[in-house]
Each structure stands twice: as structure tokens, then as C-alpha cells.
Homo-oligomer: A and B are copies of this chain.
Amino acid sequence: MNYLTGRVRLARNITSYPFPAKMTREQAEEVIDKVWDAVSSSSLKDSVSIIKNTEENRLKLTSLSEKHLISPDFLRGNLPRAVILSSDNTISIMINEEDHIRIQVFSDTNTLSAAYETADRIDTLLSEKLPIAYHETFGFLTACPTNAGTGMRASYMLHLPALTMSNSINSVLSWASKLGLAVRGIYGEGSKAKGAFYQLSNQIALGATEKDIIARLDAAAKELTDKETLVQNALYENNTAKLTDKCMRAYGILTNAYTLSSEEAFSLISDVALGINLGIITGIEHKNLTDALFNTLPASLSLANNNAESAERDILRAEYMRTNLEKH
């Protein structure tokens, strides 16, 4: 499980409306209606639905946010916003977040080219129906200048346990920065406790084509995950018994505990995933672990269980692990 998910995001804005930071509620509602009209009259119409940021949708949206399907910023403030989501959760179009439109396409492979093609197709489809702000020199105009140009951000969520254990993350950070890329902890900066999950993304949207940016990110992700694999093997070779014990105990705790915090679950899943990579743990797939990771996030558990509170969620999370992570 070196790759978790990849994402391509295109930022677009409609001419004649101010950016969301300066919009009135009425203008925001209009933009939502226009985008939804465009999407729901397109070939996407049967596979998507719209969720507005009403009070009653709050928990559902928090759950989408912790799954990275929408941004934390989407949840802030009172401006009317909406997200158009495909039924398989691979497409998410945020309306009135920082920009009027943010097309997001997710992928679970080790290349983002297919995801980019899908995003590009949606972009084309919207451009045919909406006047998109574009400048000959600057490219697509965006609320924040760092997104201008292609308006594209592409990223991978990567699992880098060996680089974390061997304290090599700082050197990874400076390597990435030289390539115009950024590496961040997926929930807060580089937190070990959160199980060695990181986001690798491009920092600059300008001065290169979308395909070039994606090719560069794909190559960097490959280089990074290859390095992770090398370090995993080296760590294993030098600490076989210790690492074997660590991974096996993690599995034992994960699948037997009565209560598990989200933080501990991340950390244990990270160790078990490493165990699968190294052949220490068999009879269980990475897919089971990523499902467990995303299905037991706090808001997801609350949503599925009558707004369960923290202590109850920890019990439900542990129950999920005991039920779904048995070896077969």
C-alpha cells in the first residue's frame, strides 16, 4: 500500500461573478444553479447528485471532508456552497469553495493521466455551457494566483512508513521542494502518529502544460515509492525480528481491541500495511485496510451510527476492525 489515492483538481471561475470571497448569497445561489444546470444536462446526469451546505447536511459533508472528497475550507463560513458528487465517489465538483468551480477526479492507480482526462472532459463540458474566466497570458484566472495558469493541482496520498521510521522524511521534503512539489501529512504536518500517510502535490500551476505537470508528479511519486520500498527492505533486513514483531502485534491489537481511537487505528493500519508489503502478514489485502481506514473516520462512523459521539465511535471503530480484518 504505497499509493492510496491520487487526485487531479481543476480550478475554474465564471466571468461576471466576483470570486466567492466577495460574493453575495444571491450570486452564490446563482452560480450553484448554473453549474448544476450545466452538469445535470450533460452525460454525467445519471451518475451524479448535488449536496448543498445546509445545516442538515453538515455531518455528511464532514464525512466527505475527512475522506478528502471536499476540502476543510468548504465547511467554513455561511456562503451557499454545494458539491456535485458521482455515485462512485471518483468525481467531486465543489461549487463556491475558494473558486466558483473546482473539478476533482480521484484515482487509485499509480498514474494520474486517466484522472486528468476525465477532469479535462468535465472542464470541456462546462466550458461549452458557462463563460469560464480565461486570460491569454495568465491562463485560467483563479482566486489565489498560485492556482492561475492551468488552474490545476494534482496530488497523491502515499504511505511511507519506512521513510518515516528511518527519519528520512525531512530529506524527502527538501527533495520534493527542489522539484516544485510539496509533501504534507494528510491530517496535519508530517505527523508520525497518524500512520505515515502523506500527500505529494505540485506547488505551481503555471508555466507547464497539464500533461507535463502530471508526468512530473507521476515520476516523482514513483521515485518516492520506489525509495520507500528500498528502505522497507533495508529496515527489514537489519531488524527482521523487531519489525516482524511490531507488524504482527499491530495486527493483533487492531483486530482484538475493544476500543480504538482514530489516531491509533491509523498507526496500527500503517504497521499492518507495512507487514503486508514485507510478506510478514498474509491472508489480508491492502484494499481491506484502506477500506477500514476510510470507513472508520470519525464523521463517517457518526453518520452511519446515529451521530455517535467520540467514545462510542472508538468502540464502533474497533468492532469494524474485528469484523472486517480477519485473515482468510
> Interface on A for B, CB 8 Å cutoff?
241, 244-245, 248-249, 251-259, 311, 315, 318
22 contacts between A and B (CB under 8 A): A241-B258, A241-B259, A241-B315, A244-B258, A244-B259, A245-B257, A245-B258, A248-B256, A248-B257, A249-B253, A249-B256, A249-B257, A249-B258, A251-B256, A252-B252, A252-B253, A252-B254, A252-B255, A252-B256, A252-B257, A253-B253, A256-B256
Question: Complex: how many Å from CA A248 to CA B255?
Answer: 9
Question: Complex: how many Å from CA A257 to CA B280?
Answer: 12
Chain B residues near A252 (CB, 8 Å)?
A: 252-257
> Copy number in this complex?
2
- Chain B nearest CB, measured from A218 CB (Å): 36
Question: Complex: how many Å from CA A311 to CA B251?
Answer: 22
A241-B259, A241-B311, A251-B256 are known; give 5 further A-B pairs, CB within 8 A: A244-B258, A248-B256, A249-B256, A252-B252, A253-B253
Chain B residues near A241 (CB, 8 Å)?
A: 258-259, 311, 315
- Chain B nearest CB, measured from A222 CB (Å): 32
Question: Complex: how many Å from CA A256 to CA B255?
Answer: 10
- Chain B nearest CB, measured from A200 CB (Å): 32
Chain B residues near A318 (CB, 8 Å)?
A: 245
- Chain B nearest CB, measured from A268 CB (Å): 10
Question: Complex: how many Å from CA A241 to CA B315?
Answer: 9
Which of A255, A256, A259, A318 has the largest count of B CB atoms less than 10 A from its CB? A256
Chain B residues near A257 (CB, 8 Å)?
A: 245, 248-249, 252
Question: Complex: how many Å from CA A259 to CA B249?
Answer: 9
Chain B residues near A254 (CB, 8 Å)?
A: 252
Chain B residues near A256 (CB, 8 Å)?
A: 248-249, 251-253, 256
Question: Complex: how many Å from CA A125 to CA B122?
Answer: 98
- Chain B nearest CB, measured from A105 CB (Å): 39
- Chain B nearest CB, measured from A241 CB (Å): 6
Chain B residues near A258 (CB, 8 Å)?
A: 241, 244-245, 248-249
Question: Complex: how many Å from CA A241 to CA B261?
Answer: 13
Residue of B nearest to A281 (CB): B256
Question: Complex: how many Å from CA A101 to CA B76?
Answer: 84
- Chain B nearest CB, measured from A57 CB (Å): 32
